[in-house]
Structure 1
Amino acid sequence: MSKYKPLSSVTNNIEHTNGLGNEHYISEKQFESEKNKIMFQNWCGLSFAKDIPNIGDVKPISFLGLSLLIIRENNDVINVFENTCRHRGMQLVNSPQNGKKNIRCPYHNWCYGLNGSLLATPHIGGIGIHTHKAIKPKSMGLNKIRSHIWHDIIFINISGTANDFTEYYSQLIDRWRDFEQPIKYGGKDSSFSITLEANWKLAVENYCESYHLPNIHPELNKISKLEDHYDIVDSNQYSGQGSSNYHQLRDEKNNAFPDFKDLKDKWQLGSEYIAIYPNVLIGVHRDHIFSIILEAISVNETRENIAFYYAKKLKSTEEINALKKLNLLFWKKIFKEDIYVVEGMQKGRYGGKFDGGTFSPVMDRSTHNFHIWITQQLN
C-alpha cells in the first residue's frame, strides 16, 4: 500500500476506506509480486479457442514472461503446455503453425505428440540408437498447464492449485445460465486489439463501473443512460454493471443478428458487463457476446484482445457483413473513448501525495469489490 494507510484498510467499509496505493500501479517490484500471487495462482484468460480452429493448429504465446504453447489436439480438446523441450530446454515453436501431426524440437529433433507425449528421441543412445534405459518417454512429455475453456476463452492456472473452474465461478455461470449454449466467432470484422499505457488493473476498474458513462461516452449515454444501469456486486470473484435498456443493432431494412435461443424476458432489453477477476471482461447481449482478455505486458502497459461472438454461424451476406462491421465500429469507438481515462489514471498514480483515492459508496461499489479481491490475494 502507500505510506498513508496499510493494505488491509482497503477491505474496510466503502465509506471509510481508500483504494490501492500508487505502488500497485507503478512499481516493478509490486508488479512481480502480483504476477506470482495473483496471476499465477488464479484462473487467467490466455487466448481464444477461435485462434486455433483446426486439428494440429499450434500457437506459441507469452504469458507474463512464460513461453507457452496452445495446441488443438482434436475437435474437442485444446492443450496448453510450456513451450519448452524436456531435453535441453529449447523453445519448441516461435510462430503459429497449422495442421501439425506432431511437434519437433529444432535443436535435437525430439518429437512430441499433440497431447504432449514424447514420441521420439533420435540418437539418444548414440548414432542410430534412438532409446536409452535412462530416458523414460512416458514421464518426459511436455509440461502441461492446467486449462479450461469457457465461452471460447482459454483460461489457465499456472500454479495448478486453484479450485475447479466451474466450481469457483459457479455463481457467475448460474447468473448467465441462459448463455450456456454454443457461440460462434463472427470471423471477419470480429476482433481487434488496443494497447494501453496503463496498468492492467485500471482497465478492470474502468470497465466494471458505469459512473463515467455521461462524461466519457456521451453518445452511448443517450441510448443507454446512467440511470438505466445497476451494479453487479453479488460475488467476490467478479463485479460489473448491467443495463436495462439495450438497443439491438438494426440496419435501415430492420435486419438484426439472430438472438440466442430460449432467453428469459429480461434479456430482451437487458445486457450485462462483468469483469471476471483477474483479467477477463465479458459483455452479454441477446444477440452477441464480446470478450476482452487483458494481457499485462508490464507494470504500465496492457493489451486488450477483443473478440465478438454470435448465436449462430453468420451467413456471409451483404447485410450481415455490414452489420458485423457496424457492431465492431460501435464497440471500438466506445473502447477507444476509455483509453483517455485509463491512461489518465495511470499518469495520476505518479502523484506522490495521492493516497489511493476515495470511493463513492453508491457508484463505485464494483471497483471497491475488485480492490478487496486484490487485497485478499496479496494477503
Structure 2
Amino acid sequence: MSIPLSNLDSVLTSTDKAKGLPNEHYVSNAVFDEEKKAILFDNWSAIATGSNIPNPGDIKPLNFVGMPLILVRNSSGDINVFQNTCRHRGMILIDKPTNIKGVISCPYHSWCYNLDGDLCATPMVGGTDINTHESIKNEELGLFKIRSAVWQDVIFVNISNSAKEFTDYASKAIERWSEFEKPLHHGGESSSFKLNLDTNWKLAVENYCESYHLPWVHPELNVTSSIEDHYHIEEMGHFSGQGSHVYNQMKSDDGNVFPDFENLSDEWDTKSEYIALYPNVLLGVHRDHFFSIIIEPISTNKTIEHVSLYYAKDPSEMLELKKLIDSNASFWKTVFSEDIGVVEGMQRGRSGLMFDGGKFSPVMDSATHCFHQWVAKFLKDFREKQKANL
C-alpha cells in the first residue's frame, strides 16, 4: 500500500521546517518495492565497477534488487550490461563469474550469444539436424540490453530506460570533479571489500552525507580532520555530501606517500570531498586516491556496501607501496565499519511507531535533507503518474 501523498509534503519543505521520510520508507516491504521502481530503476543506479570485469571476455552475473543482470566486457574492452535471461525459455545464462573466449551458451538448449549480446546460434531449432527456422529471426532475439554508462570506473544502469542521458544526469558531479577525469588504477585484492548492514539502504546514504556525527562515531578521524574543518556540499536534485579543508596523506614507515593525480590545482593539496551521487553511490576524492561505495539494497532492512579504492598509478608501478595500499584499505574499512552501529541503530529505531521522521538541524543536516527531498520528489511524481494511468 502506498503512503498517502500528504505524508511526503513535510519532507518537501525547507530544512528548518522539514521532517525526515516517514517510518514506512524504512520498514515497509510495499514501499521498498515502490522505491525500487521509482528511485532505483527510473534513475541511474550504480551496480558494480569496471574492476569487477577487468579483461576482455570477463562476465560477472549479479542480482540488482531482484533483476538478474550480467556485466560483460567485450573483445574491444567496452562494458555492456544485459539481462541474464535467454531469449528462448528464460533460462539464467551465467551463474558465476567467468571469462569466455567464444560465445555465451545457454545451459538449457545451447542458444548462443556473442559478447555484444547478438544471438548467433540456435542448435536444432528447426529439427534435430536443422539449426534455423523462418520464425526465429536472430537479429530480433539478442539479449535484452540494459542502458548503461561508466564514470570513474563505476557502472551505472537505467533499468526503465526513462532517465535523461547519463552525462546530463551526472553533469554537475562531473563538472565539480573535472580535475579527476583521469585514468584510475584499482589498488588490487585488498582494495575491494564489502560490508553487510542490517539497515535500509537509504540510511547508509544519509549517514554519508553529513559530518555531524564525526566527533562521536569517528573520534580518531576527528583528530586529523575535525568537524570544524568540514563544509557542506549541496547540489539540490543531484548530490550532496561533505568536504574537508584538511587532508593528511598517509605515509609509509620510510616516509613515502602515494603519487598524486596529475595537474591538480593547489586547493587539492589539503582538501578532500565526499559526495553521495543519488541514488546509491558514495564517492570520495583526495589528491592521491579515490574510492567508491556502491550501496546495494537487498531488502527493507538489508544492505551491502561494495567498496573499491583507486590510485593515480597501477600497483605494479609502485610495488614499494604495496604495504601502504593495504594500510589505506584497512584504514577506510575501519572508518566505514564504525558507521555500521549507527545506521543499524537508526533502522531499529524506525520500528518505534511514534517516530515521526525526526527533526533536522538546519545547520548540520541540510545535506541529508537534500537527499530526503530528492527521494520524496521522485516518489511523489511516480505516484501521480501511477494515479493518472488508472
TM range (shorter): over 0.9
Match of residue 291 from structure 2: 290
Tell me, what secondary structure is at the counterpart of 1:6? helix
Counterparts of residues 353-364 of structure 1 (less than 5 Å): 353-364=354-365
Deviation at 1:169, TM superposition (A): 1.1
1:156-175 aligned within 5 A: 156-175=157-176
C-alpha change, 1:117 and 1:378, in structure 2 (3 Å) is same
What residue in structure 1 maps to residue 68 of structure 2? Answer: 67
Question: Secondary structure of the equivalent of 2:331?
Answer: helix
The equivalent of 1:372 in structure 2 is: 373
1:71/1:80 contact within 8 Å kept: yes
Q: 1:207 & 1:138 partners in 2: Cα distance?
A: 45
Measure the CA separation in 2 of the matches of 1:205 and 1:308.
21
AA partner of residue 223 (structure 2): K
Unaligned stretches of 5+ residues in structure 1: none
Q: Distance in 2 between matches of 1:315 and 1:145?
A: 34
Change (3 A) 1:75 1:320: farther
Give the CA deviation at 1:5.
6.4
Unpaired segments of 5 or more residues in structure 2?
381-390
Q: Check whether the contact 1:195–1:302 (CA below 8 A) recurs between aligned residues.
A: yes
* Shift in Å, 1:189: 1.4
**Contact preservation (8 Å) 2:252, 2:321:** no
Question: How far apart are 1:114 and its partner, in Å?
Answer: 0.4
The CA deviation at 1:99 is: 3.4
SS in 2 for 1:14: coil
Q: Secondary structure of 2:236's match?
A: coil
For residue 45 of structure 1, what is the amino acid of its counterpart? A
* Aligned-residue RMSD, C-alpha: 1.4
Separation in 2, partners of 1:317, 1:288: 14
CA contact (8 A) 1:171 1:235 kept: no
Match of 1:189 in 2: 190
2:232 alignment counterpart: 231
Note the C-alpha offset of 1:211.
0.2
Separation in 2 of the partners of 1:148 and 1:40? Answer: 14
Name 2:136's counterpart in structure 1.
135
Shift of 1:314: 2.1
Look up the match of 1:202: 203
TM-score (norm 2): 0.95
Q: Structure 1 CA distance, aligned partners of 2:319 and 2:156?
A: 35
Alignment of 1:1-379 (within 5 A): 6-315=7-316, 319-379=320-380
Structure 1 residues 92, 2: closer, same or farther in 2, change over 3 A?
closer
CA separation in 2, counterparts of 1:2 and 1:341? 26
CA distance in 1, matches of 2:83, 2:14: 42
C-alpha distance in 2 between matches for 1:3 and 1:177: 41
Which whole-Å CA distance do the structure 1 matches of 2:318 and 2:204 have between them?
35
Aligned length: 379
* TM-score normalised over the length of structure 1: 0.98
Q: Residues 151-186 of structure 1, C-alpha deviation per residue, up to 9 Å, x if partnerless?
A: 111100001111111111111100000000111001
Deviation track 1:191-238 (CA, whole Å, cap 9, x = no partner) reads 110000000000000001000000000000000010100000133211
Q: Percent identity?
A: 53
Partner Cα separation in structure 1 for residue 57 and residue 344 of structure 2: 39
